[in-house]
Amino acid sequence: MSEEIINKVAASPLLSLDLEEYYPKEEVVLFDLKPFLFMELILKEKDFRAALQNLDWSVYQNKIVAVTCSADAIIPVWAYMLVVSYLEPFAKEVVLGDEKKAVEQILLKKIQEINIEEFTDKRIVVKGCGELPIGEFAYMEITKRLRPVAKSIMYGEPCSTVPIFKKK
C-alpha cells in the first residue's frame, strides 16, 4: 500500500499571519536624561544644552532610541524636544519610554501599516508561540484591524487553532 500522504494543513485556504515578522529588527537603546541633570535632580538649561551639543550622536545611527528619565525629577517638555532634535538625523525611530515601550510602539505602528485588504474574506490564523516576546497588546491590535474584513480569525498554528472570530 503506497498511499500518497497529503498535507491537509498546507492545502487549506488558511492564511497564516506571524506577528514576529513585524517585530523591530533594529537595535533598541535607551537615552536616559538622568546623567544630564544637576545632582540628578535639576535640569539646568545652559548645562543641558552644552552637554547635548558635545555628544557623539552618530552612536544612535539606525537604532530605535527610547528616551526616558530614570530620576524622579520634573523634566520640562522642551528638554525632550531638544533631545529628539539631536537624535532625529541619526536614529531610525525615537520614542518616549523604556526599551519595552519602544518595542511596543514600533510593533503597533507596523501593525497599523499592514494592508488589511489582502485579508478580506480570508480565514486567518494569527501565529502564536514564537521566539520573540510578542505582547498581548499586539494580538489585540491585529484582531481589531482584521475583524472588519476577515472571514474568520483563529489563534495558534494551522494544525491546532483556537477560534476567535467568525463572520456570520
Question: What is the mean pLDDT of each successive set of 10 residues along the chain, which is 168 residues long?
Answer: 57 82 94 93 93 96 96 94 97 95 94 94 90 91 96 88 90
What's this model's pTM, rounded to 2 decimal places? 0.78
65 found inside a domain: yes
Question: 77 and 108: one domain?
Answer: no
| pLDDT (0 to 100) of residue 136 | 93
Domain end marker among 43, 70, 91: 91
For residue 69, what are the domain limits?
Answer: 28-91
Q: What is the pLDDT of residue 168?
A: 84
Residue keyed to cell 552637554: 51
| Residue 99 domain flag | no
Task: For residue 31, count CB atoms less than 10 angstroms from its CB and return exposed for 0-12, middle for 13-18, buried for 19 or more.
Answer: buried
Answer for the pair 43, 75: CB distance below 8 angstroms, yes or no. yes
Are 80 and 44 contained in the same domain?
yes
| Residues 6+ away with beta carbon under 8 Å from 97 | 66, 67, 68, 105
Whether residues 162 and 136 fall in one domain: yes
Q: Which one-letter amino acid corresponds to residue 134?
A: I
The pLDDT assigned to 9 comes to: 46
Q: How many domains does the chain have?
A: 2
Whether residues 77 and 37 fall in one domain: yes
Return the pLDDT at 5: 61
